[in-house]
Amino acid sequence: MSDLDITAVVEAVRSCLPPETKSKGIGLHEPVFDGNEWDYVKECLDTGWVSSVGKFVDRFEHMLEDYTGVKKAVAVVNGTAALHIALKLAGVKRDDEVFVPALTFVATANAVTYCGAIPHFVDSEEKTLGLDPWKLEAWLREIGEVRDGQTVNRLTGRRIKAVIAMHTFGHPVDLDPLIEVCERYGLVLVEDAAESLGSYYKGKHTGNWGKLATLSFNGNKTVTTGGGGAILTNDEELGRLAKHLTTTAKIPHPWEYVHDQVGYNYRMPNINAAMGCAQLEQLQVFLERKRKLAQRYQDALTKILGISVFVEPEFARSNYWLNALILEKGYAFQRDILLEELKLQGVLSRPVWALMHNLPIYNNCPRMDLGEAVDMEKRIINIPSGAAL
């Protein structure tokens, strides 16, 4: 087997990017502010409605509902806070276990920990880069004991309450078989759709499949509010509770401060929602440009042996939040040389996140065999994917 032609790969990636990016260098996912951002933010400043009250929060939530098709969207301060509340509303309690893919951003696991619960790491499949429902089912057959509609982990004695499906780089997890597993074992499905605004599974937007789902509007996501997130649900009552819990659990009253539980100050400020409205107005354009860039990468790299660009699974229409180069097995040893060479050519690229079970903080958590995730971690490189490109 010959080595990967690094020069050819770098040349192919470069050929997909605008020439002017060569001199100034190009980030992984830079935001685009070509719409009404300045006008809407100025309106907040002019009227003084910058903080926790104002019309843009409601408008932003309604735009998210219209776009994704979910019944209730609740805007919050960031995607991690959204996950925290989604898990609480899913019924995750202290000492429960929650299935989390080992291949994810650390926020997914952290939100479980905020609930006093324990992440239980599961493997991913190369077809989606997301949670492998078949392998999860096999693992549950081995360790799961269903009692009164709930599953207990035979090895730890703890209840397994929920599963978080994270749609990696915007590509949907294979949800149908996962939902079957969840039903059989009484697990609540929560979608971490932080990366998948604009991505569809079998024609329906991600975030509609779990009991609850979450979005992120961090600066590097497809749509940004500076910092921000949202909780999505098709259950009206859960939607109402999500709003209540993220706004200090205050009982509506003209002047009295009565709070009926320990709530959170997780509400999205109006000034951020103003940006979000302007960004959502451009989402369709962003998605078209991102899909075109993904196609250019795919075309440019087809001829090169030993490497490919990740393509959405057949049941999905993806936002291609981050494009990923996948080194074939056997070429993993060249990953760091390629990263180095891309950097030298002004193209920022990154390996995928460190696997959760390898972080010292999550070293002792329960886990299944993570063979695929361990193998994929060594072979994935994210390349520039912003809508400006």
Ligand X SMILES: *Cc1c(COP(=O)(O)O)cnc(C)c1O
**Least distance from ligand X to the Cβ atom of residue 216, Å:** 3
Check binding of 199 to ligand X (CB under 6 A). no
Which of the stretches 23-31, 33-41, 103-111, 234-242 binds ligand X when contact is defined by CB under 6 A? 103-111
Member of 56, 105, 139, 297 binding ligand X (CB under 6 A): 105
Contacts of 60 (CB under 8 A, 6+ apart): 75, 225, 268, 273, 276, 277, 280
Query: Cβ neighbours of residue 45 under 8 Å, at least 6 residues apart?
Result: 271
* Position 107 contacts ligand X (CB under 6 A): yes
Give yes or no for a contact between 102 and 370, defined as CB atoms under 8 angstroms apart: yes
How far apart (Å, rounded) are the C-alpha atoms in residues 324 and 311?
A: 9
User: Is 164 an interacting residue with respect to ligand X (CB under 6 A)?
Assistant: no
Which tokens is 146 given?
Answer: 């269903």
Of 119, 133, 207, 229, the one binding ligand X (CB under 6 A) is 229
Near ligand X by CB under 6 A, which window of 39-47, 188-196, 251-259, 276-284? 188-196
| Contact pattern for ligand X over residues 59 through 98, marking x by CB under 6 A | -------------------xxx------------------
Q: Taking the complex as a whole, how short is the minimal distance between the CB of residue 77 and ligand X, in angstroms?
A: 8
10, 131, 165, 166: which one contacts ligand X (CB under 6 A)? Answer: 166
144/229 with CB nearer ligand X: 229
108 binds ligand X (CB under 6 A): yes
Minimal distance, residue 229 CB to ligand X, in Å: 5
Closest approach, Cβ 224 to ligand X, in A, equals: 10
User: Cβ 104 to ligand X, closest distance in Å?
Assistant: 5
Is 98 in contact with 92 (CB distance < 8 Å)? yes
Residue 35 CB, nearest approach to ligand X (Å): 21
Nearer to ligand X by C-beta: 140 or 166? 166
178 token code pair:
């996962």
Which one of residues 216, 246, 318, 334 is an interface residue with ligand X (CB under 6 A)? Answer: 216
Nearer to ligand X (CB atom), residue 300 or residue 380: 380
Chain position whose Cβ is nearest to ligand X = 79
Alpha-carbon gap, residue 183 to 188, rounded angstroms:
8
Q: Give the count of residues interacting with ligand X (CB under 6 A).
A: 14
- Which amino acid makes up residue 217? F
Report H helices in the chain: 6-15, 21-24, 37-47, 55-68, 79-89, 106-114, 133-143, 175-185, 236-246, 270-281, 283-301, 335-344, 371-377
Report the C-alpha gap between 223 and 221 in whole angstroms. Answer: 5
Binding test (CB under 6 A) with ligand X, winner from 199, 206, 208, 218: 218
| Number of helical H runs and strand E runs in the chain | 13, 16
Least CB distance to ligand X at residue 90 (A): 16
Closest CA to 349 of 316, 305, 296, 309: 309
Beta pairing, strands 118-122 & 97-101: parallel
Site for ligand X contains 192 (CB under 6 A): yes
Written as six digits, the tokens of 183 are 């039903």
Footprint of ligand X on this chain (CB under 6 A)? 78-80, 104-105, 107-108, 166, 192, 194-195, 216, 218, 229
